[in-house]
Amino acid sequence: MTDIALVTGANKGIGLETARQLGQRGIQLLVAARDQAKSEAAAAQLRSEGLDAQGLVLDVGSDASIEHAAAEVAARHAKLDILVNNAGVLFDDPDLTPSQQELDVWRRTYAINLFGVVAVTRAFLPLLRKASAARIVNLSSILGSLTLHADPGSPIYDSTMPAYNSSKSAVNAWTLSLAHELRDTPIKVNSVHPGHVKTDMGGQRAPMAIVDGARSSVAMATLAADGPSGSFTHLGKTLPW
């Protein structure tokens, strides 16, 4: 049976490219975006490239949308092999210090980057359990590394965006919790740092092309049975928590 992958925030950036690269491996794609027009446009683009892609409306910040999407996928498919929790937001104001960031920024960031990931995973876990060996990939960031933030010599020491950074630290903690829960199953759950990638979020001065920014997610989404679970990596290299 063909493998099926769901990628959130797949209408642009790293998510769209992750879906493309999974599709190029013969995997059936559920191209999720918060807006129907965006999800359909991205799925149509991937179909025009010869890939097997269907749009799916999924706003990871809405319980109703998540519930509706999970019911729709369950009605159409008997299982889900790959879930890539890719959707993410960055709202911190770079001109403010950590203590000056508005509380609303923290709330809106956590709603998508953490609660969205947890809620989507919970909703799709029953279908993931029906696959023979599902893979869950959580898009974290090197900016979620507490070890590197504590090191004045690290390249991210001055990247203080507290809401975004700590939301990714929390994603890493969630990855470990879920990997622990699923440790006696064939399901693997891992966090990845995609790199500093040229997207709307990463900015045009970012050093990494989108095609390379998707590679860490694709690698973890297609892990062999002897691959890790509960890891935090970038292009196969382990990052410090």
For the annotated catalytic residues, the residue numbers are: 164, 168
CA triple 220-222-226, angle to 5 deg: 80
> Does residue 169 interact with ligand NAP by CB under 6 A?
no
Task: Candidates 20-28, 67-75, 85-93, 95-103: pick the segment binding ligand NAP (CB under 6 A).
Answer: 85-93
> Does residue 205 interact with ligand NAP by CB under 6 A?
no
> Does residue 162 interact with ligand NAP by CB under 6 A?
no
Judged by CB under 6 A, the residue of 43, 88, 121, 136 near ligand NAP is 88
Using CB atoms within 10 Å of the CB of residue 228, give its burial: 0 to 12 exposed, 13 to 18 middle, 19+ buried.
Answer: middle
With contact defined as beta carbons under 8 Å apart, do 138 and 174 qualify?
yes
- Reference 121, options 87, 84, 72; nearest CA is 84
With contact defined as beta carbons under 8 Å apart, do 22 and 4 qualify?
no
Separation between Cα atoms, residue 81 and residue 65, nearest integer Å: 21
x/- binding map, residues 21-40, to ligand NAP, per CB under 6 A? ------------xxx--x--
With contact defined as beta carbons under 8 Å apart, do 134 and 80 qualify?
yes
Judged by CB under 6 A, the residue of 69, 82, 194, 222 near ligand NAP is 194
| Smallest distance, ligand NAP to C-beta of residue 184, A | 29
Of the two residues 184 and 237, which places its CB atom closer to ligand NAP in the complex? Answer: 237
Q: What are phi and psi of 238, to 5 degrees?
A: -70, 135
> Does residue 92 interact with ligand NAP by CB under 6 A?
no
> Does residue 197 interact with ligand NAP by CB under 6 A?
yes
- Strand-pairing partners, residue 197, are 208
x/- binding map, residues 134-153, to ligand NAP, per CB under 6 A? -----x-x------------
| Smallest distance, ligand NAP to C-beta of residue 45, A | 13
Separation between Cα atoms, residue 102 and residue 100, nearest integer Å: 6
> Does residue 189 interact with ligand NAP by CB under 6 A?
no
Tell me the two tokens of residue 228.
């890790």
Q: What is the edge-to-edge ordering of all strands in the sheet holding 28-33?
A: 53-57, 28-33, 4-7, 82-85, 135-139, 188-192, 232-234, 237-238
Instruction: Specify the DSSP element, H or E, that contains 139.
Output: strand 135-139
| Smallest distance, ligand NAP to C-beta of residue 73, A | 15
> Does residue 219 interact with ligand NAP by CB under 6 A?
no
Separation between Cα atoms, residue 237 and residue 130, nearest integer Å: 30
Residues 48-77 that bind ligand NAP (CB under 6 A): 59-61
Judged by CB under 6 A, the residue of 43, 69, 73, 89 near ligand NAP is 89
Q: Where does this chain bind ligand NAP (CB under 6 A)?
A: 8-9, 11-15, 33-35, 38, 59-61, 86-89, 112, 139, 141, 193-194, 196-197, 199-202, 206
